Structure 1
């Protein structure tokens, strides 16, 4: 099992994605070979929720939040 396949088992869960230059908090929407998509929740910096694509090579850490 590779990294994307493991993350795919958590689709629909709330996640924190940490990269070297940003932090994303939202719901994991999909995980494919080489990238994931996260629906980022709105905050002071992002007024509406957005779907963000993140390449797995750029991810430092993913935390799966409790359901």
Structure 2
């Protein structure tokens, strides 16, 4: 089992993804082909919810929230 396959077990869960200079928090939507897709919730910094895709090679760590 590789990292992408492990992430697929957590689709639909709230997650935090850290990249150099960027922090994403939202619901894990997909993980395939070297990409992670997260549905971001609206906040003070993001006026509406958005879907963001990150390259797995640029991710420092992923934290799955309870």
TM-score (norm 1): 0.95
Determine whether 1:40 maps to 2:40.
Answer: yes
CA distance in 2, matches of 1:51, 1:4: 18
Aligned twin of 1:29: 29
Tell me how far apart the structure 2 counterparts of residues 6 and 33 of structure 1 sit (CA, whole Å).
13
CA RMSD of aligned residues (A): 0.6
Moved over 2 A (4+): none
Aligned pairs, number: 66
Structure 2: stretches of 5+ with no match in the other structure: none
